[in-house]
Amino acid sequence: MTRDDMAALKKWFGRTHRKPLILRGARQVGKTYLVRSFAQEQGLNLAEMNLEKHPELKRAFLSKNPPTIISEIEGVLGKKITSEHTLLFIDEIQAIPEAIAALRYFYEELPDLAVLAAGSLLEFVLGSHIFSMPVGRVSYLHMGPLTFLEFLDAADPFGADELRSFSYKSLRDYLHGSVIPESIHERLNHRMREYLYTGGLPEAVAVYLETKDVYQVSEIHDSIIQTYFDDFSKYAGKVDPLLLRNILRRMPLAVGQKILYTRFSEDHTSRPIRHALELLIQARLVSKVIHSDANGIPLGAEMDESVFKLLNLDAGLMNRMAGLSLVDIRGLSNQRLINEGALAEQFIGQQLLRNHDINSPLFLHYWQRSGKKGNAEVDYVIQLGSVIIPIEVKAGKSGTLKSLHQFMAEKHTPIAMRFDLNPPSVQQISVSLHDKSVVNYPLLSLPLYAVEVSNTAVRKILEELPLGSSPR
């Protein structure tokens, strides 16, 4: 499978002053596969060491002496490690936390050796170990599940080529009158529903594409979920594993909802629930969508961290825990797919989290208002350069977008977006509000599957807007 993160590894490897790189992300997102593929593509000698399988190496890492560490790893692997054309890969680094601290000495004493580490649930380990972190001596790369475009590359290379062509060329063209052929549009919507079922975890995707056996995919999902639960048990002295499991089990019902801690456990107070939830967020198993007043940039300057929604790591795992099958997802009408089960909101959020132009790897933003002026909520608010863009994930005509109208009237941003299952379009909205004022703005509507390329369309529209134009 082709991963977009491969480009980030190439950039890291080519740096003059290269630091050890830590790949972070939940289990099963493809960290080890990515490193092996990278080493093969670059023609590097891969020296791979899984620390979960070799706890005896703890003493070597405690020495903080790179030659000693290298010598011990060579003894285990049975081969010589040199700086030239070699990639030292330390997998499951969380199993020996002292190895994380030792990375700084590789940077200082063996700068020519490419060192790459990968770990999951690092926050569970770091929170209970006292040692000097290699601040400024390591780099980080956050990995998540496959995006829809990555899924499409694996599932339908011909379709992927057409979508990528549409993404970077035809997306501009359609703004001038071109359209997506209906046959391609329907095929991409079909693939998108398959993605909602399989999710983006590589093993589940690979088995589905090879066998089309939904029962095998469900077994893989179950196995991955159980692996997460088993990991929680390793940290029983630091956080209640049963609470972590309860939160993860109930996550499918939480998507799109303002979070109340009692939603996750009736047997715990808010404090332990908050602590457990923060650990899951830092471990990338859960992501926050935090309220922002969105009056200006950066959006984080006006966020209220006590008001938030949540996203699951992966749509496939979410739907498996919710009991939805591929037959269920295919059988949903377009209207129900958008408005029931928060499937579309999870899908859009999961793709937005991988968009490095607009977000941190930990959270997104949304907007809500309550009070005398009435309640309103916009599913997502993103920042693209200096422009704030509200996003609705809904079906229906423009007249149903009451919250979006309210946002545009209050914030005066130059453009709004909507994602649904229809072909792309641009509408000029003109709506009278309850106070008799009128708001005018361009609304970019895109199909769900085009979320990863929406930046291109937005920039094109902004270029064509009159200078200084805004809703009024």
Across 209-237, average pLDDT: 91
Beta 416-420 vs 438-447: how paired, if at all?
parallel
- Of residues 178 and 315, the one with the higher pLDDT is 315
Give the pLDDT band (50/70/90) at residue 268. confident
- Of residues 122 and 468, the one with the higher pLDDT is 122
Rg (CA), the chain: 24
Cα-based distances in Å from 156 to 15, 162, 447: 34, 10, 18
Q: What is the pLDDT of residues 293-335, one digit of tens each?
A: 999 888 889 999 889 999 999 999 999 998 877 777 776 666 5
CB–CB of 399/431 below 8 Å? yes
- Of residues 229 and 470, the one with the higher pLDDT is 229
- Of residues 71 and 324, the one with the higher pLDDT is 71
Give the pLDDT band (50/70/90) at residue 398. very low
Across 353-374, average pLDDT: 77
Query: What pTM was computed for the model?
Result: 0.89
Range of lowest pLDDT (2-11, 263-272, 337-346): 337-346
Q: What is the pLDDT of residues 192-210, one digit of tens each?
A: 989 999 999 999 999 999 9
Cα–Cα distance between 443 and 429 in angstroms, integer? 7
| Domain extent listing, the chain | 5-142, 149-464
Give the pLDDT band (50/70/90) at residue 173. low
Which pLDDT belongs to residue 259? 87
Give the pLDDT band (50/70/90) at residue 158. low
Encoded tokens for 169: 């060329």
CATH superfamily label, 5-142: P-loop containing nucleotide triphosphate hydrolases (3.40.50.300)
Range of lowest pLDDT (30-44, 149-163, 299-313): 149-163
Collect all residues with Cβ–Cβ distance below 8 Å to 190 and sequence separation of at least 6.
none
Cα–Cα distance between 209 and 79 in angstroms, integer? 37
Share of the chain above pLDDT 90, in %: 52
Which pLDDT belongs to residue 63? 94
Which pLDDT belongs to residue 36? 96
CB-neighbour burial class of residue 469 (10 A; exposed 0-12, middle 13-18, buried 19+): middle
